[in-house]
Chain A
Amino acid sequence: MGIAEAGKDSGQFKAAISRKDYTSAKRLLSKLKLHLTEMSGLPPMLEQTSTASEELQLARDVLEHGVLLSAQMDDERGFENNYMQLRPYYLDARSLMPPSQQEGTLTGLNLLRLLVQNRIAEFHTELELIPPQAQQDKCIQQIVQLEQRLMEGAYNKVLEARQHIPHPVYSHFMDKLLNTVQDEVAGCSEQAYDQLSLAEAQKMMFLTSSKQMEEYATEHGWQVNGSTIKFHPSDEAAQSSLGSAELISHSMIYARELERIV
């Protein structure tokens, strides 16, 4: 099967995406990926064949669309998979073909995904791997800024950023980012307070109603007493006692060991 046929399939695939016919798009993507495994010019072989450049560009295009597809389908797992497959084209094979228009958008999207999943370490790893010139991209810069705000705890600014998304596909992840922020806040509150009033908590966690707040509290196993939330309901029960039997047996062992020191 030649590159021409793959090109044809690729066209159909893109058409399906724009039709929002996700099922057939997915099927076509699988088929295309199989085609790609047969092309020797692609990573990880990267053989320098006559058609290598064409193949590379086609493959990159297909995978870019694949990433977009899963972003639109809100399929984080699929997104991650597809992006991983795409990444060598941005990194290792970068020098073998002209840069892609979509690169900034997709890289930024991936970074955002990592933020959403609260995988900060990986976020930075990814960031380091992005070549310097690509880092100048508007999308990426915005995500980087987002991360900094998240880190310094300026959660309101993070929420503001929702208004200025660089690309429509970002909206899916931006919504999810809210959940991440909430969880962060909840985690901090748990550590910081023993108890908190319901209203305060609701404000801090950007929740709209007290009912939502109560649901959220029960999800995390907090105790809601009227208008206050207790973060650590079962703490008092955990009174540790020293195991005297254990202590005795240790002493006995030491005594015996002392006896047989050579």
Chain B
Amino acid sequence: MAVAISSATGVLSLLNEEDDALRLYALQVLNKLVHEFWFQVASSIASVEAFYEDEEFGHRDLAALVASKVFYHLGELDDALSYALGAGALFDLSERSEYVETILARCIDSYIEQRQKAAEDKSSPEVDPRLTAIVERMFDRCTQDAQYEQAIGIALESRRLDRLEQIVTAAPDQVHLLAYSLDICNRLVVSRDFRQEVLRLLIRLYEAASIPDWVNICQCLMFLDDPQKVAHILDRLLKGSQDDCLLAYQICFDLFENEMQSFVLQVAEKLDSLAPPPPPQPAAAAAAPAANGDAPAVPTPSAPAATDNGAADGASAMETDDAGKAPEAGSAPAATEPTAAAAPAPAPEESEEVKSHRARLADVKRILAGSLPIALHLEFLYSHNHADLQILKNMKGAIEARNSVCHAAVIFANAIMHSGTTIDTFLRENLDWLSRATNWSKFSATAGLGVIHRGHLSSGRSLLAPYLPTQGASASPFSEGGALYALGLIHANHGQDIRSFLLDCLRSASHEVVQHGACLGLGLAALGSNDEELFEDLKSVLYTDSAIAGEAAGYALGLLCVGSATDKATELLAYAHDTQHEKIIRGLAMGLAMIMYGREEGAETLIEQMSRDQDPILRYGGMYTIGLAYRGTSNNGAIQKLLHFAVSDVSDNVRRAAVTCLGFVLMNNPAQCPRIVALLAESYNPHVRYGAALAVGLACSASGLPAAQRLLEPLMKDAVDFVRQGALIASALVLMQQPESKVAGFRKQIEKLVADKHEEVMCRMGAILAAGILDAGGRNVAAALRSPAGHFRRTAVLGLAMFAQYWFWYPLSYFFSLALRPTALIGLDSTLRTPQFEVTCQARPSLFAYPPPVTTESGKDVAKIPQAVLSTTARAKDKAKRKAAEKEATEGDKMDTGDKTPASGEAEAMETDEKAGEGAASAEAGAKPAAAPEASSFQMANPSRVLPDQEKFIRFKTPAARFAPMKRHAAAGFVVLKDSQPDKPVEYTSTAGPASGPGSQPAPTPAAPPAAAQNGNTAEDDEPPPPEPFEYVPSS
């Protein structure tokens, strides 16, 4: 019979013996028994500790180990750790016990802490070598057990770059690990300096790999702000094979999507300097690379934009351009089959290679300069527009005639709903109603045109010509100023070619409203360019000390120098102290905040100065400085500071700003934001509640997080009107581009609020804004704070920060359009056109379908445009309808598709025509009517909306399909495709034809009579008229 002992006291009493041998024996036994009898050992812990302290005692390490185990059980992990360290080699890392795991975790934690402290403060003591030894053993163990990710995490946290390198090089799947490292480096490494070190290391490792992952290398280089190297890589790729070239395109698209305009322009510039010297060329084309001295983007966008958009007024330019470009454009796709005959080149021998390189270079620059991607987005938004005019009509009908706040809000809603779609039907149909906008409303309404035509770089200026300031007779300063602002919005971030025009306008403007518009326009167009000349001009406007112009100048200075942390900040701060105008102070405060964008620790001095200022407006700016400087870092220090101000400042504005800015700081971690502001959302102070709502809206935008919705729900029923407003706007932000099932309830709520005559104005305004935001960009865009690669989109963050200033100045709400990014999947082949092909979405079609149009007695709505080119999106809807209506009919369709695609059960409709694709989709829907009423997957044609939630369901039909993406995990954004059958002719989606792009539509003569606009669906007319210049109508 086995007998176990019931108590360790017998052994413990041996510790009191005088004989060392007996003590040793006792310790050995205790070491085995301690996990069972730790509570008894704990009472004698003093004697165990005494053994450890006793230098004479020969087995101190054993005593330490016993003590460590006891302290572990007592929950004194720090003591346990220090004794475990004392135990030296006796502490066995490979033991799989809870004790060892816990102590190890503690050990690593404290190692990380000490390493970080040592890194930040050189004077701090050296890291305990015993600790290091354990962590080293830990690393070895991880490597042995192939737990590389864990090891990388520890290495990064403890700043052991040497280890990181070892681990990655030792691991079998380097590519995966590097991607993992990059990801956590960008998301979790707090210190900016260290992040850069890691990135440099990662680049080195990437380059060392057998097949370097150029896409990620370039990402890293962008974080490091090293355009030279990116240019070199691109240059190398462009000189390489067709595949390399496609990869270069993909990299360029990724760079573009990160929206660091200044960086991208530098890359383009460097690329030029790397290119071989241009041989004599036809004048039109040669002008492009040569004239790049000070404005690299100027020639490139204009030339290809003309080709792509086929703007009517640029038609002649297009022709000449084509003459020059034809051989280039031709040689890119046909690089494999020589087309020397087609190229009447002056120097045929060298030209084959050089020419193709030059053509590729031109393409790359088109992408980098943004002209191509912007055009593609424009085209996508135009052709897939699903904004529901009926919603606008309903809102327009619901608001009172005299209520200018709601009136302006509806105009805003229209602008945002059609942002980037170039569709201004609503405005044209309601010119009379529109003319009620006077003074600043008129300014805003005109600016709204800029939002609608956002990205319409080629003809933005001609579109707005009727409103722009002209020599001599001027219409109204408000429409002139608004038009300049609109130009800025159209050219936001890509304003090289409009810069001089806006500058002229600013210089010649005498009216402060026009100056206001010009300043905002310039700030937007020259976003982040640090242009010295503009800076001086804007500063001189600022120093005129005119409240209205000065405020805009303040904002513009911030936009111009965004993220530069320029020394001039002190000058601006000094002026903010000097001036008497609150507006100017506010403009400068926000400007200063923008200057510090993303500088993290570098902004501390300014933050300190501003947040301790006497003036609440400057403190307000200080809050935004914290928010923008630490955007998306979840930096604990910043959060603490903001929370402190949120509860302790005397000014409501500062409190509101502090809470709002929490949203910016927590952007990288949307799930955390609702938790952190949850308490603030229950504050007694309505400003704090409003701030909490907005913070959640910003941080969780387009995420549809349930936690965020739960937090916002009670706020929408708040007693205070502006809190309801904030909650509505925030909810709309959160629900952007979410599956309709989540949004339907909110839509109803908005509808009810807008229609309710007894609702307070502020709240109704919020509801109208929310309606606009919810359906922004024809239901095809989302406020995306991060690029698909995970980089923060500076423009978007700034856009939202400025949007939040609508509180003081309604026209600033139009900055919202900067935050929008199409949620599209756009596939491009080597000619950089969109071929017809399909991807599979492994989800029910109705899940991600567009919401059904609002039905009323009139019943007509824009979603019903008989646009022949509409592809998946319309099809998805059609499908839903068809399925409901005629299930039996699908049988026939199924047979039909079966014939066409005998190879795979899944219909591969790529090469079939539209109808077949439709049949295929519905065939799937009908294939299993009994088991599931709806198909479990569906096909989507090339340019197509992909909701954020939908991305994980997207599958490319590799390798069966003809086109495969160059980049892994590509589910949204621009995807460069590799053509596996380059010899076959490629069918392009019809919208991609250079002649029929949307660009051709709104461009032409601005003087066209408004009569042509009478039928509601002008959108697909070949030559619809521009909007009526409504400012000419005398205002009521």
Answer whether residue B4 sits at the interface, using C-beta atoms and an 8 A cutoff. Answer: yes
Complex-state Cα separation, A44 to B2, whole angstroms: 12
| Contact partners of A91 in chain B: CB under 8 A | 6-7
Instruction: Tell me the A91-117 residues at the B interface (CB within 8 Å).
Output: 91-93, 95-96
Answer whether residue B14 sits at the interface, using C-beta atoms and an 8 A cutoff. Answer: yes
| Contact partners of B33 in chain A: CB under 8 A | 44
B22 pairs with A262, CB closer than 8 A: no
How near does chain A come to B17, taking the closest CB pair, in angstroms?
7
| Contact partners of A93 in chain B: CB under 8 A | 3
Find B9's partner among A77, A84, A95, A261 (CB 8 Å cutoff). Answer: A84
Can you give 21 contacting A-B residue pairs, CB < 8 Å? A30-B17, A33-B17, A34-B22, A37-B21, A37-B22, A43-B10, A44-B10, A44-B11, A46-B2, A46-B5, A80-B13, A81-B13, A81-B14, A84-B9, A87-B10, A88-B6, A93-B3, A95-B3, A96-B3, A260-B647, A262-B684
Answer whether residue B715 sits at the interface, using C-beta atoms and an 8 A cutoff. Answer: no
A81 pairs with B16, CB closer than 8 A: yes
- The closest CB in chain B to the CB of A94 belongs to B3
Instruction: Tell me the B981-1031 residues at the A interface (CB within 8 Å).
Output: none
Instruction: Tell me the B21-42 residues at the A interface (CB within 8 Å).
Output: 21-22, 25, 29, 33
| Contact partners of A88 in chain B: CB under 8 A | 5-7, 10
B25 pairs with A37, CB closer than 8 A: yes
Answer whether residue A85 sits at the interface, using C-beta atoms and an 8 A cutoff. Answer: yes
Answer whether residue B1 sits at the interface, using C-beta atoms and an 8 A cutoff. Answer: yes
Answer whether residue B150 sits at the interface, using C-beta atoms and an 8 A cutoff. Answer: no
Find B4's partner among A37, A87, A92 (CB 8 Å cutoff). Answer: A92
Instruction: Tell me the A71-87 residues at the B interface (CB within 8 Å).
Output: 77, 80-82, 84-87
Complex-state Cα separation, A93 to B5, whole angstroms: 8
Answer whether residue B705 sits at the interface, using C-beta atoms and an 8 A cutoff. Answer: no
Instruction: Tell me the A12-48 residues at the B interface (CB within 8 Å).
Output: 30, 33-34, 37, 43-44, 46, 48
Instruction: Tell me the B641-664 residues at the A interface (CB within 8 Å).
Output: 646-648
| Contact partners of B685 in chain A: CB under 8 A | 262
- Using an 8 Å CB-CB cutoff, how does the interface string of B586-605 with A read, 1 for contact, 0 for none? 00000000000000000000
**With A30-B18, A44-B10 as contacts: A261 and B5 at CB distance below 8 Å:** no
Find B19's partner among A34, A44, A84 (CB 8 Å cutoff). Answer: A34
B29 pairs with A44, CB closer than 8 A: yes
Find A262's partner among B16, B18, B29, B679 (CB 8 Å cutoff). Answer: B679
Q: Which of B17, B25, B688 has most chain A Cβ within 10 Å?
A: B17
> Which residues of B pack against A, CB within 8 Å?
1-14, 16-19, 21-22, 25, 29, 33, 646-648, 679-680, 683-685, 688
Instruction: Tell me the A106-152 residues at the B interface (CB within 8 Å).
Output: none
How near does chain A come to B651, taking the closest CB pair, in angstroms?
13
B646 pairs with A262, CB closer than 8 A: yes
- The closest CB in chain B to the CB of A259 belongs to B648
How near does chain B come to A98, taking the closest CB pair, in angstroms?
15
Complex-state Cα separation, A261 to B683, whole angstroms: 8
**With A30-B22, A87-B10, A262-B684 as contacts: A44 and B646 at CB distance below 8 Å:** no
B684 pairs with A81, CB closer than 8 A: no
- The closest CB in chain B to the CB of A88 belongs to B10
How near does chain B come to A146, taking the closest CB pair, in angstroms?
24
Complex-state Cα separation, A80 to B646, whole angstroms: 63
**With A262-B647, A262-B679 as contacts: A77 and B3 at CB distance below 8 Å:** no
- The closest CB in chain B to the CB of A82 belongs to B13
- Using an 8 Å CB-CB cutoff, how does the interface string of A234-262 with B read, 1 for contact, 0 for none? 00000000000000000000000000111
| Contact partners of B680 in chain A: CB under 8 A | 262
| Contact partners of A43 in chain B: CB under 8 A | 5, 10
Q: How many residues of A contact B (CB 8 A)?
A: 25
Complex-state Cα separation, A148 to B19, whole angstroms: 39
**With A37-B22, A261-B684, A262-B688 as contacts: A81 and B17 at CB distance below 8 Å:** yes
Complex-state Cα separation, A189 to B376, whole angstroms: 99
Complex-state Cα separation, A96 to B4, whole angstroms: 12
Mostly, the A contact residues are: helix
| Contact partners of B7 in chain A: CB under 8 A | 87-88, 91-92
| Contact partners of B11 in chain A: CB under 8 A | 44
| Contact partners of B3 in chain A: CB under 8 A | 46, 92-93, 95-96
How near does chain A come to B602, taking the closest CB pair, in angstroms?
30
Complex-state Cα separation, A44 to B8, whole angstroms: 8
| Contact partners of B25 in chain A: CB under 8 A | 37
| Contact partners of A81 in chain B: CB under 8 A | 13-14, 16-17
**A44-B5, A44-B11, A93-B3 provided; 18 other pairs, C-beta below 8 A?**
A33-B22, A34-B19, A37-B22, A44-B8, A46-B2, A48-B2, A80-B13, A84-B12, A84-B13, A85-B10, A85-B13, A87-B7, A88-B5, A88-B6, A88-B10, A92-B5, A92-B6, A260-B647
| Contact partners of A84 in chain B: CB under 8 A | 9-10, 12-13
How near does chain B come to A220, taking the closest CB pair, in angstroms?
29
How near does chain B come to A135, taking the closest CB pair, in angstroms?
17
B648 pairs with A260, CB closer than 8 A: yes
A85 pairs with B14, CB closer than 8 A: yes
How near does chain A come to B590, taking the closest CB pair, in angstroms?
25
A262 pairs with B10, CB closer than 8 A: no
Q: What are the 4 tightest A-B residue pairs by CB atom distance, in nearest-first order?
A: A84-B13, A81-B13, A37-B25, A262-B683
| Contact partners of B679 in chain A: CB under 8 A | 262
| Contact partners of A33 in chain B: CB under 8 A | 14, 17, 19, 22
**With A30-B22, A34-B22, A85-B14 as contacts: A46 and B4 at CB distance below 8 Å:** yes
- The closest CB in chain B to the CB of A78 belongs to B16
- Using an 8 Å CB-CB cutoff, how does the interface string of A52-85 with B read, 1 for contact, 0 for none? 0000000000000000000000000100111011
Complex-state Cα separation, A27 to B680, whole angstroms: 74
- The closest CB in chain A to the CB of B1 belongs to A95
Q: Which of B3, B4, B9, B33 has most chain A Cβ within 10 Å?
A: B3
Complex-state Cα separation, A109 to B823, whole angstroms: 87
| Contact partners of A86 in chain B: CB under 8 A | 10
- The closest CB in chain B to the CB of A86 belongs to B10
Complex-state Cα separation, A80 to B648, whole angstroms: 62
Complex-state Cα separation, A93 to B648, whole angstroms: 69
How near does chain B come to A57, taking the closest CB pair, in angstroms?
15
How near does chain B come to A87, taking the closest CB pair, in angstroms?
6
| Contact partners of B29 in chain A: CB under 8 A | 44
How near does chain B come to A169, taking the closest CB pair, in angstroms?
19
- The closest CB in chain A to the CB of B647 belongs to A262
| Contact partners of A262 in chain B: CB under 8 A | 646-647, 679-680, 683-685, 688
Complex-state Cα separation, A88 to B12, whole angstroms: 12
How near does chain A come to B691, taking the closest CB pair, in angstroms?
11
Q: Which of B6, B10, B11, B19 has most chain A Cβ within 10 Å?
A: B10
How near does chain A come to B505, taking the closest CB pair, in angstroms?
47
Complex-state Cα separation, A33 to B25, whole angstroms: 11
How near does chain A come to B654, taking the closest CB pair, in angstroms?
13
| Contact partners of B22 in chain A: CB under 8 A | 30, 33-34, 37
| Contact partners of B1 in chain A: CB under 8 A | 95
- The closest CB in chain B to the CB of A48 belongs to B2
Complex-state Cα separation, A82 to B22, whole angstroms: 13
How near does chain A come to B939, taking the closest CB pair, in angstroms?
52
Complex-state Cα separation, A44 to B12, whole angstroms: 11
- The closest CB in chain A to the CB of B644 belongs to A260
Q: Which of A85, A93, A96 has most chain B Cβ within 10 Å?
A: A85
| Contact partners of A85 in chain B: CB under 8 A | 10, 13-14
Complex-state Cα separation, A46 to B22, whole angstroms: 18
Complex-state Cα separation, A117 to B345, whole angstroms: 112
How near does chain B come to A49, taking the closest CB pair, in angstroms?
13
- The closest CB in chain A to the CB of B21 belongs to A34
| Contact partners of A77 in chain B: CB under 8 A | 16
Complex-state Cα separation, A37 to B22, whole angstroms: 8
- The closest CB in chain A to the CB of B25 belongs to A37
How near does chain B come to A5, taking the closest CB pair, in angstroms?
17
| Contact partners of B10 in chain A: CB under 8 A | 43-44, 84-88
Complex-state Cα separation, A86 to B680, whole angstroms: 64
**With A95-B1, A262-B688 as contacts: A87 and B9 at CB distance below 8 Å:** yes
- The closest CB in chain A to the CB of B33 belongs to A44
